[in-house]
Amino acid sequence: MQAQKATLNLKITDSNLNSKSVNIGYVNPNADETALRTFAQKANNLTNNTLTAINMTVIYDLTDASGKEDGYWQLSSSDVTVQRSTTDTSTKVNATYITDAIDPPTLEIVEGGNITNANVGLRGQGSSWEVVLNYGYYTGNVKVKLTAPESSQYKKTSTYITFHITE
C-alpha cells in the first residue's frame, strides 16, 4: 500500500525571541486536523517554549509498510533479442539501482534456460551492475529477476529482464 504521512512541525519562539522549528515526528494524516493541532499544543506544554505556529506537511508515497522509501531499477533494456552466433555467446544489460546499494543484488532465472546451457551472472559494484547472460547453444527465452539487496536503506525492489535467443 502506498502510504501517506504527515510531519508535524512546531514553530516555537524561545526566551530570546529566536524562532525555530521543531519536528515532533510523523503523525497520522488521517487524524482530524483539529486533533493534530491540539496534540501539538499539548506536546508544546511539556516545554518552556512559546508556540507561535503549527505547520503540517503531508508527504506522498514515500514509504511502504517497512518504513523504507522506494528504490527502483534503471535498465538499459528490459527486453533483449539476440541472434545466436558462433562468435558471440553472451549478451548483457546494464542495471543501475536508484538510489543506493552496497551489497550485490540477487539474481535468479525465473523462466527458461538452465545451468548447463544458459546462465546469468553479475558484474559491477555499488549501484551499477551488468547482468550478463551466457547463452551458449541455448535458444529460447530466459527471464531473470534482479532484486536489490536487503542492506539497502530503500525498498527491496525487484525488476525483470527477458532475453530472447533466436537461431
Partner 1 sequence: MDTVTASQELNLDWTFQDGDTRIMKLPNPKNANELAPDIKDLVAYAVSNNILLGDKYGADVATIQSAYIVEQTSTKLDIKSNLGV
Interface positions with partner 1 (CB under 8 A): 1, 3, 5-6, 12, 14, 20, 22, 24-28, 30-32, 35-36, 38-39, 42-49, 63, 65, 67
Nearer to partner 1, 26 or 160 (CB): 26
Nearest CA among 75, 79, 78, 108 for reference residue 94: 75
Nearer to partner 1, 14 or 103 (CB): 14
Task: Provide the 3-class DSSP secondary structure of residue 89.
Answer: coil
Nearer to partner 1, 21 or 125 (CB): 21
Rounded to the nearest whole angstrom, what is the least distance from the CB of residue 126 to partner 1 in the complex?
27
Query: What are the cell numbers at 74?
Result: 534503471
Round to whole Å and give the CA distance between 152 and 101. 5
Residue 40 belongs to what H/E stretch?
helix 33-44
How many C-beta neighbours within 10 Å does residue 113 have?
23
Rounded to the nearest whole angstrom, what is the least distance from the CB of residue 83 to partner 1 in the complex?
49
* DSSP assignment letter at 137: T
Rounded to the nearest whole angstrom, what is the least distance from the CB of residue 72 to partner 1 in the complex?
19
Rounded to the nearest whole angstrom, what is the least distance from the CB of residue 111 to partner 1 in the complex?
34
